[in-house]
Chains A and B, each alone.
Chain A
Amino acid sequence: MTRTLLSLSTLLLLSSASAKTEVTFLYGLGGELGKAVESMVADFNAAQGDVTVRTEFGNNYEGVVQKALAGIAAGQPAADILHLEVAYVPRLAASGALVDVSDLPGFKKSFDAFWGVFRAQVSRPDKAVYSMPWNNSNPVMYFNPVLLKKAGLSAPPRTYPELREAAKKITAATGVPAIALSSFPWVLEGAIWSNGGEMVKGGRLALDQPAAREVITQWAGFFRDGSAVLQGPNTNADFAAGKVAMVMNSVATRPSYKASVPFKFGTAPLPFFKKPVVPVGGATLAISKNIPADRQKAAWAFITWLSQPEQQFKWIKMSNYVPITLTTANLPAFKKYIATDRGLGVGIQQLPYSRPRPSTTGYVQGTQEIIKSLDKIFVQNAPIDATLKDLVERTAPLFKDTQ
């Protein structure tokens, strides 16, 4: 009898243990940020007894997409939760591989808590939502105060015309390039929007339009007067070595700068032309469609847990991403935290005037064409008007269905 009871209780214990739903989370952040992801997952697993999240590292955002594509092609999702850079979501969603989370329980309450810009970033024209905001950022300007001081500047420039003048002075006074500018059009998007232009408009790239052309012409001027270098894999090392005075980069670069830059660097808002506008970026969390309902439910529980203010705050302290909900931004502990260092609050200060990046299906490929054209203009002195005209014509098929 005792033996039977023991067997029964063991069976009960085993069945309760197996009731825990296991889901896989394929993520794309490495280094310190990867450790932060693992820490958040460990916290979630310890915080409740219903769901276990098992992590898989996809190397980077492209790696996650490649694994997701392989899973879709094989008819077997690569993971239950996919960590997707926002630009890739529309194509994957259009294939029917992702769950429309707006149908899931508690969606509205969770979704309404996000900043408007992040709601807009993940909302499709038909109101469907295929991924939820998580690690979101915006670009800021990091600067070397010593090099600026050598040029007689007590504060970083606020507008692009000011930046142009400051850059000439810094380069003349210090002998190092004042700023690193990127051909990857993230910061450029903000500059063009701030000048009243658009990246994509009327079914085509709008970089040949006056507002955008003016921005690109001014950026080319930085290179042509020798005050700018092209941003590349070594730019962060160059900034740390005092070989470039200003860099425009994600707020989430801050932890690695903190670890590698040997001087007290400054953080300033992104410069603008007519009015401040910044793009947001980062990645979102999506649920694979062809998985059992219990795993969808478990995945959803994890995603909504991550967006809670307490989890967000912990995540931000490790990663320096911006808060995705207003509630997080209003936490007294958060306000106290960002007051400890002036640079910590710049990302959140920019949120009221931030915009989502273009999310049309052709923009990923279009971005590669933009990079090629801007490289030609910036470092090969290619004629601006002709190069932009060629870019717009070349990319026309990618945007023909875009409004």
Chain B
Amino acid sequence: MGAAPYILPALVVFAVFTYYPLGRVMYLSLTDADMLQPRPNLVGLQNYSAMFANPEFWRSMTVTAIFALSVTFLEVALGMALAFLMNAPTRLQRLLRGAVFTPVVVSIAATAVVWNYLLSPASGPVNQALGAVGLPGPGWLSDPNTALASVILVATWKGVGLPAVLFLSGLQAIPRELEEAAVIDGATRAQVAGRVTIPLLAPTTMVVFFISLVGTFQSYGLVLLLTGGGPAGSTNLLGYYIYQNAFSFFQMGFASALSVALFLLLLGLGLLQLKLSERRVHYQ
């Protein structure tokens, strides 16, 4: 019998909820399915050729890449900085840890409502404050020049708590004697951080980087609620574009092809992570 009975339940769950949907999406991507016809017709690679020929797909990919890389970079940098602050033995340590992690557990809908209000061009507190010091406030979410940056900032605010906590746990796993040895050797606090602590955080950094990157590539909820992909398509992330094609335009075959493209992209990123983890990340 061996281990089979023990892994069977997990295998069944994976098969039903992961592998079957994956196979089904791959099949649908080769059809003209629209959820309204029971037996879709096979159309070969037509959806893929339509996808590559569609300027909106490329635009969406570009927007998604900018969004994902920006949010990931900000989450890694801010998450690490916040972790250093949260690790420092101050009176505000607990308060800071709570404040940093709270946005992670706030629902996307509540986040969107609050930020829509804060960033309102005319009556929002952000522009009111800018106006009070004589600065003109832009239409944060309604101007194509600022909408993507605004969504990036909101997504970072919402997501940075998790990397911060992961970095905090990474920091706490670093043996104190290594940093103490550097201090005894005359290193300043900045040198200790730059030459000892941050390099030792490399495994955590790698994990945070890829978790963040994969998560942001799949984002669509914030965009759906903050901007609806607009204005002028400036925040049309691939995840939202897939949702729109599947459920608003009823083009399930085309949406499936887009999903397969996203899956392959994420698979590529996952393989890259494995490669980099093997070569570049040094454990103690």
Contact = CB atoms under 8 A, between A and B. Distances in A.
Contact of B120 (A97, A237, A372): A237
Given A62-B248, A230-B139, A237-B117, A379 B36 contact: no
B143 A232 contact: no
Interface in A79-96: 91-92, 94-95
B116 A234 contact: yes
Contacts of B124: 234
Contacts of A237: 117, 120, 123
A126 B37 CA distance: 21
Interface hub of A65, A94, A365 (most chain B Cβ within 10 A): A365
Given A72-B36, A91-B36, A97-B36, A234 B122 contact: yes
B35 interface: yes
Contacts of A230: 139, 142, 231
Given A65-B247, A69-B250, A229-B142, A234 B120 contact: yes
Nearest to A234: B120
Contacts of B120: 234, 237-238
Given A69-B35, A229-B122, A379 B248 contact: no
Interface in A338-382: 364-365, 368, 371-372, 375-376, 379-380
Contact of A238 (B122, B244, B249): B122
Nearest to A382: B232
Given A62-B247, A91-B36, A375-B231, A243 B122 contact: yes
A246 B128 CA distance: 21
A137 interface: no
Contacts of B233: 372, 375
Nearest to A372: B233
A223 to B, nearest CB: 11
A241 B125 CA distance: 12
Given A72-B36, A91-B250, A95-B36, A379 B142 contact: yes
Contacts, number: 85
Size class of the A contact interface (CB-based, 8 Å): 35 or more
Contacts of A91: 36, 250
B141 interface: yes
Contact of A177 (B38, B122, B230): B122
A234 B141 CA distance: 10
A91 B34 CA distance: 10
B252 to A, nearest CB: 9
Nearest to A231: B142
A233 interface: yes
A238 B119 CA distance: 12
A109 B232 CA distance: 46
A176 interface: yes
Main SS at interface, chain B: loop
B121 interface: yes
A237 B142 CA distance: 15
A66 interface: yes
A368 B244 contact: yes
A376 B249 CA distance: 22
Interface string B230-255: 11110000000000100111100000
A375 B35 contact: no
Interface in A134-179: 176-177
Nearest to B249: A365
A73 interface: yes
B36 A364 contact: no
Contact of B230 (A65, A72, A97, A183): A183
Contacts of A97: 36
Interface hub of B36, B37, B124, B226 (most chain A Cβ within 10 A): B36
B203 interface: no
Given A95-B37, A375-B144, A380-B144, A234 B231 contact: no
Nearest to A242: B123
A151 B275 CA distance: 67
Nearest to B116: A233
B36 to A, nearest CB: 3
A376 B147 CA distance: 13
B232 A372 contact: yes
A244 interface: yes
A92 B36 CA distance: 7
Interface string A51-72: 0000000000010011001101
Contacts of B248: 62, 65, 364-365, 368
Contacts of A65: 247-248
A243 B116 CA distance: 16
B35 A73 contact: yes
Nearest to A374: B232
Given A237-B123, A238-B122, A379-B144, A94 B232 contact: no
Contacts of A380: 144, 232
B25 to A, nearest CB: 13
Interface hub of B144, B229, B231 (most chain A Cβ within 10 A): B231
Interface string A202-232: 0000000000000000000000000001101
Given A69-B35, A229-B122, A375-B232, 13 more contacts: A62-B247, A65-B248, A69-B250, A95-B37, A177-B122, A183-B231, A229-B139, A234-B117, A234-B122, A237-B120, A238-B120, A375-B144, A379-B143
14 contacts: A65-B247, A65-B248, A70-B35, A183-B230, A229-B121, A230-B142, A230-B231, A234-B116, A234-B121, A234-B122, A237-B123, A241-B122, A364-B248, A376-B144
Please provide the 9 A-B residue pairs with the shortest distance between their CB atoms, ordered closest to farther: A243-B122, A95-B36, A234-B120, A375-B232, A241-B123, A238-B122, A375-B231, A365-B249, A69-B35
